[in-house]
Copies of this chain bind each other. A is one copy, B any other.
């Protein structure tokens, strides 16, 4: 299967009309522009330059891994996350779970705990255990199978991981392996960060959402009944292994959910990538292997670049949360698990874009293009009907991006591919957006 991005042929032209528009919000005497702005990514990430060489992100076909045991295997594409002593590779490709050396080189100690869920275990647990142990008899693998879904991303479920680790007598030189989607990755990562004050871990994401976003960058954690991801740690894995073959079993709704994050990268920092998506969104939904591999690689490059510059989210990294403040409110208010994360982010992105437009920071062509691509990706563009203005406000008040009582948001500003992270916006615009998208 030719899932490697190298073989992709990509057009670099765009067609969407950009009509300058007199904005309603511009007439309201808004506050001055915010102080932190993030220009779109450098041209080295343009969609025509597949072979990328940058100071912080290294990726491309030149970085191949030798596979002595299986000379016919396709070597993975590697994206490096550059974090000094905590740097690690992201391996991307088809059939990587069959290339056991990729995992085994990152296993520390003699005991491994695979954390997975009831849906993924029947599909990939045996394969993962095989990859960890073949030709490696010194390693023993335990596993813990959690219930599936965002509503189980809580302390009670996390305790099952600790219970299993302790009962299995895993010591400091053990390795935790997250096998599953974003919920499993976040929980396993936080368990690894906390168990004996920190053991090594490996991410094997099996959803688009996890492969393009949540498995990369070290954000781990669990939900609290009053808010998402309120308890957790910044904790980096030893490696991320993205076997694109695992997407063959992904439900369509999960597929679409992951694309919300792919679209995000284009909007906040990579206009060329967004334009590529506008041409290829149906190919992605149809799981065209080459298109998927390219979208995953390009997303990981964007994420790695941001995380390398701002690991602990003091500024730039927050921009990865476009649409997430509104989206988290939907997930929390509507009940974890009713909507998938990417579905909530999609509706949240439309709200953030609407607010950006009301502030006069973007023109209406961007609003239209965002709505169009999300609809084509089969994603919702409005929050659930049960959400009210006051629900949004009370949940957003405990968002992690609140500082000294001020809610900071990621908003688009300027041409496509540019955004700001700011608390310096007209409160009227936020209220207007909330009223436009939810009942009072």
Contact = CB atoms under 8 A, between A and B. Distances in A.
Contacts of A159: 155
A403 B171 contact: yes
Contacts of A162: 224, 230-231
B109 A403 contact: yes
Contact of A171 (B155, B167, B402): B402
Interface string A393-431: 000011011111100000000000000000000000000
Interface stretch (A117-125, A189-197, A204-212, A282-290): A189-197
A435 interface: no
A289 to B, nearest CB: 35
A410 to B, nearest CB: 15
Interface string A222-249: 0010110111111000000000000000
A227 to B, nearest CB: 6
The interface size bin for chain A is: 35 or more
A116 to B, nearest CB: 21
A60 interface: no
A196 B155 contact: no
Q: Counting chain B CB atoms within 10 Å of each CB, which of A155, A193, A197, A405 scores highest?
A: A197
B232 A197 contact: yes
A194 B233 contact: yes
Contacts of A402: 169, 171-172
Contacts of A109: 403-404
Contacts of A163: 224
Contacts of A219: 197
Contacts of A149: none
A143 to B, nearest CB: 19
Contacts of A130: none
Given A155-B155, A162-B230, A162-B231, A398 B169 contact: yes
Contact of A398 (B155, B166, B224): B166
Contacts of A403: 109, 171-173
Nearest to A158: B155
A233 B397 CA distance: 27
A110 interface: yes
12 contacts: A162-B224, A162-B231, A166-B227, A166-B398, A169-B397, A171-B403, A172-B400, A194-B221, A195-B230, A196-B400, A197-B220, A197-B221
